[in-house]
């Protein structure tokens, strides 16, 4: 696959799509619009970026077997592998230390704090009440992450046949009163 040919085809298809809506009677205006379209005024130049290669730390299962993660973590994060920066952040967070992860899209930043919270709760089951609150800037992110939490719960329950030991809920202000009350009564909650 030639990325430049692919780009040209996409731009060409988009230009045809845009032109299908153009119905300009004035010849002078039509000429100007055609000229602008030919110069590519409606689409930017292609942006090429390289994804950095992050150093792998190993599979979650291997890392848990080494004792660095709680034994239930592989059942929650089924099939996952961790990058070195993720494992370092999870280790810091699990030990009550602060951390900041700045890395590219798809490098697992969310997993670092979620796994840190899970690690803490699993290694200290006596904790009760609201143990962690996660604040997101948009409801769409809250909803997306809540779906991820459900996936983690399903992974664990399928793998072990047991009830997920961590409860969670979300509060965006859009939930019905019954859901709000139920979330307020949960033993452990993430939102």
Q: What is the pLDDT of residue 191?
A: 40
Which residue range forms the structural domain that includes residue 31?
A: 3-38
Least confident of 39-48, 122-131, 142-151: 39-48
Q: Mark whether 146 and 180 lie in a shared domain.
A: yes
Q: What is the pLDDT of residue 117?
A: 93
Q: Mark whether 18 and 63 lie in a shared domain.
A: no
Q: What is the pLDDT of residue 64?
A: 94
Cα 138 → chain centroid: 13
Q: Mark whether 10 and 70 lie in a shared domain.
A: no
| Domain containing residue 156: CATH number | 3.40.50.300
Q: Mark whether 32 and 85 lie in a shared domain.
A: no
Span 144-155, average pLDDT: 94
The answer to whether residue 189 scores a pLDDT higher than 70 is no
Q: Mark whether 31 and 66 lie in a shared domain.
A: no
Q: What is the pLDDT of residue 180?
A: 67
Q: What is the pLDDT of residue 75?
A: 96
What's the pTM value of the predicted model, to 2 decimals? 0.67
pLDDT in tens, 24-53: 999 999 999 888 888 888 777 777 777 678
Residue whose structure tokens are 């697992």: 108
Cite the beta strand spans of 70-155 per DSSP E. Answer: 81-83
Span 115-140, average pLDDT: 89
Tally of domains in the chain: 2
Q: Are 76 and 47 in contact (CB under 8 A)?
A: no
Q: Mark whether 23 and 85 lie in a shared domain.
A: no
Q: Mark whether 78 and 153 lie in a shared domain.
A: yes
């Amino acid at each position: 696959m030639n990325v430049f040919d692919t780009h040209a085809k996409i731009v060409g298809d988009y230009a045809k799509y845009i032109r299908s809506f153009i119905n300009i009677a004035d010849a002078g205006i039509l000429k100007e619009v055609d000229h602008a379209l030919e110069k590519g005024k409606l689409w930017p130049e292609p942006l090429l970026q390289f994804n950095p290669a992050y150093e792998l730390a190993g599979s979650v299962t291997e890392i848990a077997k080494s004792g660095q993660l709680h034994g239930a973590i592989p059942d929650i994060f089924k099939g996952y592998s961790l990058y070195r920066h993720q494992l370092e952040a999870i280790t810091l967070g699990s030990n009550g230390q602060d951390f900041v992860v700045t890395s590219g899209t798809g490098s697992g930043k969310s997993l670092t704090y979620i796994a840190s919270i899970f690690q803490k709760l699993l290694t200290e089951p006596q904790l009760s009440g609201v143990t962690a609150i996660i604040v997101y800037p948009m409801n769409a992110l809250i909803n997306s992450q809540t779906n991820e939490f459900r996936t983690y719960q399903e992974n664990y329950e399928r793998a072990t046949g047991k009830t997920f030991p961590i409860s969670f809920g979300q509060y965006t202000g859009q939930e019905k009163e019954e859901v709000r009350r139920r979330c307020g009564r949960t033993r452990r909650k993430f939102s």
